[in-house]
A = this chain, B = another copy of it.
């Protein structure tokens, strides 16, 4: 990082977590300090690996440090619904702290680094710092708000509008933690994954992407999404960023 200092994997993980939490709330110095005291175990996984499985009983949460993960559930006949994408700083299974039996799975969508945090540590942390409990609670509430936004897309938006909405969401979410900007953000997932999130077939995802590109709304280059016409995307998808609960919503 050009800082002339070796940063351990654990320190890096907690830095990523703090950056994320500060994108949705403000932390006191004591709270930041307390967070850096968390004990974590860092692991690197290849794409397509399950981190936690449906029906598992968990004793730790997983923090995404690098790469993307997703929550999903399978039905018969190979049907899969992805419920959320998770990027560095997110804790996809934070809820397992209060509902340890999983009702869905969490998996890597790309090669990813994840840090495991024991429930025990998190429980001590929030008992000692009620402010942090509120931040984590708030974080799960934002997850819920994102679920609702996706429901609206799944139920009532056209495939075209829905995809446009998702791209708006991903761009802002990534920018909030410093992983996007200048109209560009990484999109390191396959069209199948995109379809499983949008409730579409991979074939239709491909066709809708072609329309979005054809209308000069976006473009794609080697797994990066370029927002070519933000105002149009926002208008078409009726996108309102309020639900993301981001502290600062500046710049493009």
Chain B residue at smallest Cβ distance from A134: B98
Give complex CA distance A103, B152 in Å. Answer: 12
Give complex CA distance A98, B199 in Å. Answer: 30
Taking CB atoms and an 8 Å cut-off, the chain A residues in 102-134 that contact chain B are 103-104, 127, 130, 133-134
Closest beta carbon of chain B to A53's beta carbon, Å:
13
- Find out whether the CB atom of A199 lies under 8 angstroms from the CB atom of B154: yes
- Find out whether the CB atom of B140 lies under 8 angstroms from the CB atom of A242: no
Partner of A242, one of B75, B101, B243: B101
Contacts of A133 in B (CB 8 A): 133
Give complex CA distance A104, B146 in Å. Answer: 12
- Find out whether the CB atom of A147 lies under 8 angstroms from the CB atom of B151: yes
- Find out whether the CB atom of A140 lies under 8 angstroms from the CB atom of B140: yes
A156 interfacial contact with B, CB 8 Å: yes
- Find out whether the CB atom of A144 lies under 8 angstroms from the CB atom of B140: yes
Give complex CA distance A103, B181 in Å. Answer: 25
A11 interfacial contact with B, CB 8 Å: no
| CB-CB under 8 A for A141 and B75, given A81-B156, A103-B243 | no
Taking CB atoms and an 8 Å cut-off, the chain A residues in 141-158 that contact chain B are 141-145, 147-152, 154-157
A5 interfacial contact with B, CB 8 Å: no
- Find out whether the CB atom of B147 lies under 8 angstroms from the CB atom of A148: yes
- Find out whether the CB atom of A154 lies under 8 angstroms from the CB atom of B157: no
Give complex CA distance A241, B68 in Å. Answer: 29
- Find out whether the CB atom of A98 lies under 8 angstroms from the CB atom of B154: no
Chain B residue at smallest Cβ distance from A80: B156
Taking CB atoms and an 8 Å cut-off, the chain A residues in 139-178 that contact chain B are 140-145, 147-152, 154-157
Contacts of A147 in B (CB 8 A): 144, 147-148, 151
Closest beta carbon of chain B to A142's beta carbon, Å:
8
Contacts of A85 in B (CB 8 A): none
| CB-CB under 8 A for A245 and B99, given A140-B141, A144-B147 | yes
Which of A80, A98, A149 has the most C-beta atoms of chain B within 10 angstroms of its own C-beta? Answer: A98
A95 interfacial contact with B, CB 8 Å: yes
A238 interfacial contact with B, CB 8 Å: yes
Contacts of A83 in B (CB 8 A): 148, 151-152
- Find out whether the CB atom of B151 lies under 8 angstroms from the CB atom of A81: yes
A73 interfacial contact with B, CB 8 Å: yes
Closest CB pairs A-B (n = 6)? A155-B199, A154-B154, A147-B147, A103-B243, A79-B156, A144-B144
